[in-house]
Structures are given as C-alpha cells and as structure tokens.
Amino acid sequence: MSALAATAIATHIGTKTFDVLFGEVVKKIFSKQEEPAPGKLRTAHLKEHCERTYQRCIKIKTLLSRDEPVDMLQQYVNTKFRVKRRGKEKRIDDYEAMSEIEQKGRATIVGTAGSGKTIFMRYLWISLFISSNPHIPIFVELRRLNSMSTLDLESFIFHSIIPTNEKIDIESFQSWISHGRFSFILDGFDEVAADKRDKVQEQILKLCTKSNNNIVIVSGRPDDRFSSWQEFSVFRVEPLDKQQVIQLIERIDFDLSVKKKFTEAVERNLYVKHRDFLSSPLLASMMLLTSNIMRRSRRKFMYFTSWLTQHCSQSTMP
C-alpha cells in the first residue's frame, strides 16, 4: 500500500486546481460558511500561504536538477523508518508512519544529513493537505528563526502565513490554535543556531500545550533532547536499501546510458562496497553525478569518497 501512496496522491491532485483542493480543506474544518468579521481569522486568509507551500512541495530542485524544478511525487522514493514500540524496535513504511502521526499528533522525524527528511516533510504536508483530517497544514522552516532578534515562534508563524495587507488580530490566530485547527510541520530543528535551540524547544513544547488536537511534527538530525519530549513519538529515517537506491536512480531525470550502467553496478556489488554512501539519497545522487569519474579512475573515486566522508561530517546538509 505504501508504494501506491505517492501515485494515489498524484492522481488525486492531478485533475484538480488548487482552488478546488483548498475548498475541500475548508469543508473539512467548517460545516457551514464562515461569517466575516473585522480582525478575525478566516480560512481565506490562509489560502495564499497554502498555495505557496503547495507549489514548493510539489515542485522541487535537487542536486541533479538545479536549473529546473521537478515533480516531487515522481521523484519520491518511499521512506522507511525505525521505531521503538513497547520496548521493541521495528521497521515501518511511510504509509504506516503517516497513519501513526495523524493518530498520535506529536512526532519527531530524525535522520542524518542527506537522509531525505525535508523531502519527506514536504510529502507529509501534501498528504495532510488532501487527507480527511480536519486541519490546515502549516509548513515552517525553523532556520528562518535565526534572523530574529527576539524569538517568538507563534508570532513568527502568524506573520509568515497571514498576508501583510490583512489586518488580522494575532489573538484570532491563537484562538484557532486553541481549537486545534492546525498541523504544524516544523522542518530543520538542527538548522536552528545552537544558542537558540533551547528557547525554540521551549516554545515548540509550549505550542503543544495549547491544544491536544493540533498535530505537531518536528524534523532534525539525531539529538538526545528529542527523547525527553514526552508527548512525541520518534521516527528514525532508515538508510536506503539496494532496491530503494535503484528506484531513486530510475526516477532521477539524468542521462539514460549513465543511469543504466550505474544501476547495473549497484545491482552487482557497488551497493555492498559503498553502502554508507549509497544508502543516503543525497550521496547516492552525488555518486551518480560523478559516475564517469568512478569508471575511469579508481584512485579518483577513492579520493572522492574520502572527500565526501570528511565533508559530510562537517556539513549542514538537510
């Protein structure tokens, strides 16, 4: 069922305009037409933010498509997670993970650099946007908090989603939070400046106390603090297995002959020899990009992998 999820989503949204999709979101939240009132938040005020986020989620730029955005749902490879339930670890697919997230309402998506956390968070936003769940999904890049002299997560979200020409009271937005009408997708906790993380953590946990009915999902690299977030279930992104790597390569828009040779090498022994690199979506893409170097010179390839090891240990890749 997981393998069909992205295709099913693409089919659902493929025949509908954004206006139609947003109208379906409104109907999930309100059974009758909203009454306009000065200073009061209405779903119409959130349409611009949702449409902007929708476009950013369905069209993405990747390492191999830096000049032209590509369809995220066509590129997406189903993510697998490692979770601990009742003292036992198990692996689940993204379909099961999303079902758990909707049911539990609190989750952290944890993965190493280049593991595909942000792509999954965008996939999750689209899934929540078209699901039957009566929430409006709000996508927040937490790194943008770094430019704020005074940290206030609620105020930041409010000013990010409300058009500047609208005179809406922040108290009206806070009332919506209290009524549990949002799914907050907070991406990139690890990209928050180190000296601000404690404060941001405090405000995320405070946001959760406003209503049990809001959904709150936070992504980030492994961090011991996530284990202390009592209400949050931890979903650890699993490395790609060989079949997932092949699916990833097949879906990348790249030279077909190069892809064919690279896929054959992965199937033979490349994955076994370089599992640490190929099990990361970002590094697998980089290896495909440099595959001509790999074929011509083993020495250059060894230099390349050594450089990658050093770079990835120091980088801030998502």
What CATH code is carried by the domain that includes residue 39? 3.40.50.300
Residue type, 145: L
- pLDDT value, residue 226: 95
Asked if 199 and 282 sit in the same domain, the reply is no
Give mean pLDDT, residues 113-135. 91
Asked if 139 and 181 sit in the same domain, the reply is yes
Give mean pLDDT, residues 266-292. 87
Instruction: Specify the range with the lowest mean pLDDT, choosing from 172-181, 217-226, 281-290, 304-313.
Output: 304-313
Instruction: Specify the range with the lowest mean pLDDT, choosing from 159-173, 174-188, 291-305.
Output: 291-305
Boundaries of domain holding 149: 2-237
- pLDDT value, residue 4: 46
CA 135/CA 257 separation, integer angstroms: 45
Give mean pLDDT, residues 266-278. 90
Asked if 35 and 157 sit in the same domain, the reply is yes
CB of 187 within 8 A of CB of 138?
no
Asked if 230 and 288 sit in the same domain, the reply is no
Asked if 51 and 70 sit in the same domain, the reply is yes
The domain tally of the chain equals: 2
Asked if 251 and 232 sit in the same domain, the reply is no
- pLDDT value, residue 295: 58
Asked if 270 and 310 sit in the same domain, the reply is yes
Instruction: Specify the range with the lowest mean pLDDT, choosing from 13-17, 88-92, 188-192.
Output: 13-17
Instruction: Specify the range with the lowest mean pLDDT, choosing from 31-35, 117-121, 171-175.
Output: 31-35
Asked if 285 and 202 sit in the same domain, the reply is no
Average pLDDT, the chain: 87
| Residue range 15-36, pLDDT digits in tens | 889 999 999 888 888 766 666 6
- pLDDT value, residue 34: 67
- pLDDT value, residue 120: 95
Task: Grade residue 307 by pLDDT with cuts at 50, 70 and 90.
Answer: low
Give the domain-ending residue among 237, 257, 280: 237
Statement: residue 101 has pLDDT above 90: yes
Burial per residue of 270-305, b for 16 or more beta-carbon CB atoms within 10 angstroms, e otherwise: bbeebeebbbbbbbbbbbbeebeebeeeeeebeebb
Phi then psi for residue 154, to 5 deg, are -60, -45
Going from the C-alpha of 19 to that of each of 10, 22, 27, 58, the distances in angstroms are 16, 5, 12, 15
pTM above the 0.75 mark? yes
Share of the chain above pLDDT 90, in %: 58
Asked if 17 and 100 sit in the same domain, the reply is yes
Task: Grade residue 304 by pLDDT with cuts at 50, 70 and 90.
Answer: low
| Residue range 35-82, pLDDT digits in tens | 667 678 888 899 999 999 999 999 988 877 777 888 898 889 999 999
Task: Grade residue 2 by pLDDT with cuts at 50, 70 and 90.
Answer: very low
Ranges of H-type helices in the chain: 2-14, 18-29, 47-58, 72-75, 94-104, 117-130, 153-161, 170-178, 197-209, 242-251, 256-265, 271-273, 275-278, 281-289, 291-296, 298-314
Asked if 79 and 222 sit in the same domain, the reply is yes
Asked if 151 and 289 sit in the same domain, the reply is no
